[in-house]
Chains A and B, each alone.
Chain A
Amino acid sequence: MSFIFDSCVMFFSLVIFFGGGWVFFLKKLFRDYEVQHWVVLLIFSVTFALSCTMFELIIFEILGVLDSSSRYFHWKLELYVTLFTEIVVLPFYIAYFTVSNIQMLPQARYIRVLLTFIAWCGSMYFFWKIGDPFPILSPKHGILSIEQCIGRIGVIGVTIMAVLSGFGAVNYPYTCMSYFVRPVSDADIQSLEKRLMQTMDMIVMKKKRIAMAKRDSLLHSGANKEQRSIWSMVKSFTCTDNVSVLKEETRALEELSRQLFLESVDLHNEQERKEYLKTFKGKYFNLLGHFFSVYCVWKIFMATINIVFDRVGKVDPVTRGIEIAVDYLGIQFDVRFWSQHISFWLVGIIIVTSIRGLLITLTKFFYAIASSKSSNIIVLCLAQIMGMYFVSCVLLMRMNMPIEYRSIITEVLGDLKFNFYHRWFDVIFLISALSSIGFLYIFGHITGIFGHIPYLAALR
């Protein structure tokens, strides 16, 4: 009886998360696009709902809500459905939409499906190959077991997580902290804009001359059809010569105008940041930024230590904190009670910030690179990344929970070598953080990177 009740609860929460994903998709992601294929919206919402219910099950595990056997059953069910979506459904649809987009291929339906199937098989093969250099194959399990799939998804997901974390750990303090804001005055912006308009006026002038030259040559060629004198031929020759010179100059000026415009965008952004930091919200986030940057530096430091000393932490921060409190500070309290509550809050905060952080990053990324033709493909790729990210989140979260709560993850996810994933995370995190620092140093600003992607794509 309680099993049915538990299933109802899970189903109800699944529906709520599905609705949340649906609304997010329509209001935020597809803000500027019309939804033409509802299957994309459906798949995205389903992936989001499945990931959120997985996190919910972890919270239930900590709080001891619901029957333990039904929790275990739902875990397994979630995992199977998520894996099926990630490995079969999403790649298939990504391949289908990509094939539909390529204009050169014949667009008959059966050909599209056939090509999609071939592409899907290819992606399956690569997916399998990814797992070879990593210690995923263990002799206890066969080839086609769930551990194999999770292992591979885990590798990809952990890589993505580490890259985003490394980048975020460096970028967040940089954007939030006040003494990184360059002083920008109104006069700077005005002088830059004046230069930009002068460049635009020069471009216009040259284009006018080109237009006049073309018109003149048209008139002349019309008039002198009968008399092809040498003089008119020479005149037309120098005319085209002039035109090509003008075109070259125009191209150079247009490139200059693009650079000036991007500089102007940067200056405006800096000024907006300065204004934002004057408000209460800005000051609050500035303060948070200070604390968070200390945390980021500590994290980078710990990642280095872990790698250098080949150390994988055995004790989670909650138990460790309690140990320190009891042993060194002499505070006596009910360990079990507090360990449960603190784990709940810690894990809850991690989950919420991960979800929020990922959704914000995905949205920014989507705005930067999507166009009306590629919007479906990109959003499906983002759904794939989201699914893998959340699965690996669960994997890595195991480290942050006391042993009695880890059991369900260990049981369901099988005999994975969890330590390997933590080491892999540390390595990629460190690489990502260091390269972000290098990138920041060279280019001076990452905040505008999402606005500059069109420019990078437009470089001829």
Chain B
Amino acid sequence: MAAIDKVRIVVVGDAGVGKTSLVHLISHNEPISHPYWTIGCSVEVKLHEYKAGTPEEKLYFVELWDVGGWSAHKNSRNIFYNSVHGIVLVHDLTNRKSQQNLRKWLSEILNRDSRSQSDEGEYDAEQFAGSSIPIVVVGTKLDLVQPINEKGNNLRLSSIADECGADEINLDCKHVRHLAAGTSNAVRLSRFFDKVIQHRFHSKDSTVCELYVFV
């Protein structure tokens, strides 16, 4: 176990969007039975095969740090953002405001070092370009959105995913089939994990940062 490397991914979003359900679904491959409000931070661990199916296949630990979204706890969350290798931004598809608030979350993570954080800290695109941490944007509660959009084709793209060049995944955390092996969601997620590992350990190999914009 000591020989296996690890990467740290932080999962953020407003309170009640479904981060804990998402993290549980990813790490245990089953939906969570009794989700409770997250106080502080809850961690789950997933074993991920980097570059599965190729000769360079290697096992890594992916730590998913699910940070509680209560605004009252904002002043103490900074310690969880240290040495972060990947960011998962979670929003609720039934609530547009949670998507708009993702900017504040991103700026909270990127500005964790400054002591005086204003409440309305806005995310600055240039700031992000400097750090280049891999990001994925996940929309939850797909089953509650109008059935017409369930195929995912007509869902409004999140502008923040556009700006960061991040992948976008829309799913319903109560059913395993959304992340079953072979689905496009699972492929995107696994590609995100690979990107994080590559960014952390193999950044000398790739000189050009790849930017995806996927529909």
Contacts and interface: CB of A to CB of B under 8 A. Distances in A.
A32 B119 CA distance: 14
Contacts of B94: 34, 36, 372
Contact of A203 (B1, B17, B43, B80): B43
A208 B45 contact: yes
Interface string A153-196: 00000000000000000000000000000000000000001001
B47 A215 contact: yes
A451 B92 contact: no
A200 B41 contact: yes
Contacts of B79: 193, 196-197
B1 A265 contact: no
A258 B39 contact: yes
A264 B77 CA distance: 9
A167 B41 CA distance: 32
Given A457-B37, A458-B39, A371 B16 contact: yes
B96 interface: yes
Given A193-B79, A212-B1, A215-B47, A261 B41 contact: yes
Interface residues of A, number: 43
Interface in B1-17: 1, 6, 14-17
A261 B97 contact: no
A259 B40 CA distance: 9
B72 A368 contact: yes
A262 B39 contact: yes
Contact of A451 (B61, B63, B73, B101): B73
B75 A272 contact: yes
Interface string B43-79: 1111100000000000001010000101111011001
A55 to B, nearest CB: 31
Interface in A261-290: 261-262, 264-265, 268-269, 272
A237 interface: no
B98 interface: yes
B6 to A, nearest CB: 8
A455 to B, nearest CB: 5
Contacts of A32: 14-15, 95, 97-98, 101
17 contacts: A32-B15, A33-B95, A34-B97, A197-B79, A207-B44, A209-B1, A254-B42, A257-B41, A260-B40, A262-B39, A265-B75, A265-B76, A272-B75, A372-B16, A373-B16, A448-B72, A455-B39
Instruction: Report, nearest first, the 4 A-B pairs whose CB atoms are least far apart.
Output: A261-B40, A451-B72, A268-B75, A371-B16
Interface of A: 30-34, 36, 193, 196-197, 200, 203-204, 207-212, 215, 254, 257-258, 260-262, 264-265, 268-269, 272, 367-368, 371-373, 448, 450-451, 454-455, 457-458, 460
